[in-house]
Amino acid sequence: MQAQFTIPASSTGKQILVILLASLMLLITVFPMRADAAAAVAPATTYPLAADVSSIDGIMHAYYEVVSGPPNTPRNIARDISLHHPRAQIFPTVHEKNGDPRLLVFSVQEFHVWSKPVYDTGFYEREIAREVKSFGSSTHIWSTYETRQTPDGEVTSRGINNIQLYFDGQRYWILSETWDSESPRNPLPTKNGVSK
């Protein structure tokens, strides 16, 4: 049925009609837009993911996955934070021009800010060997890695991630991590499963 409107004779009646029509147009245009916007927002993920923290394999898979991705793509910092103990620290080793090492110290959030220029060029890191030693709730992992700018690209660097884990009876936490890169002065040891 098509609605029919009769314009009231008085100016007050005209004002009321204008307000009603404006309100109707507002309802028609605004509410569908809000519904569309709500539909476009993906449901929030709750971290940590059980698969990430219930086993050593799970946390190591997540450890590499959260830093890997194409150029100019934000990394999932919330997921990375969920892997780490609230007071965890990250200790990258960088090298001066003369080859001497220098240790940096970051929180997880600070590390992602520092790493952004590398992420923005494309960065994929994968584990190629692992050595695990556990005693009680403590686990130490030597994880040999290689990096690329694309998933199937040339290897741009190799090295060893040194990771300390704590198991609280329900989940694993990364307490700290440091690493160093392979260089002529610092070749990878063959015992880490990497052939020369």
pLDDT bin (cut points 50, 70, 90) of residue 25 is low
**Amino acid found at 178:** T
Look up residue 56 and give its two tokens.
């050593």
Averaged pLDDT for residues 21-46 = 54
Name the 3-class secondary structure at 30.
Answer: helix
- Backbone φ, ψ for residue 20 (5° rounding): -65, -45
Positive or negative CA dihedral for 156, 158, 161, 162? negative
Provide the residue count of the chain. 196
**pLDDT of 99:** 87
> pLDDT tens digits for 49-73?
999 999 999 999 999 999 999 999 9
Confidence of residue 20 (pLDDT cuts 50, 70, 90): low
Phi, psi (degrees; rounded to nearest 5) at 63: -55, -45
pLDDT of residue 190: 85
How would you list the strands of the sheet with 172-181, edge to edge?
101-103, 84-95, 172-181, 157-167, 138-148, 124-135
Structure tokens at 155: 């290897």
Mean pLDDT, range 144-160, rounded to an integer: 97
Q: For residue range 130-148, what is the model confidence (pLDDT) as tens digits? A: 999 999 999 999 999 999 9
Q: How confident is the model at residue 21 (pLDDT cuts 50, 70, 90)?
A: low
List Cβ neighbours of 92 (8 Å cut-off, separation of 6 or more). 103, 104, 106, 111, 114, 178, 179
Whole-number Cα distances in Å, 123 to 64, 84, 132, 147, 163: 11, 21, 25, 7, 20
With bands split at pLDDT 50, 70 and 90, how would you rate the model's confidence at 16? low
Q: Is the pLDDT of residue 26 over 60?
A: no
Query: CB under 8 Å to 196, separation ≥6 — which residues?
Result: 187, 188, 190
Euclidean distance between the first and final Cα of the chain, in Å? 82
Band of the pLDDT at 102, cuts 50, 70, 90? very high
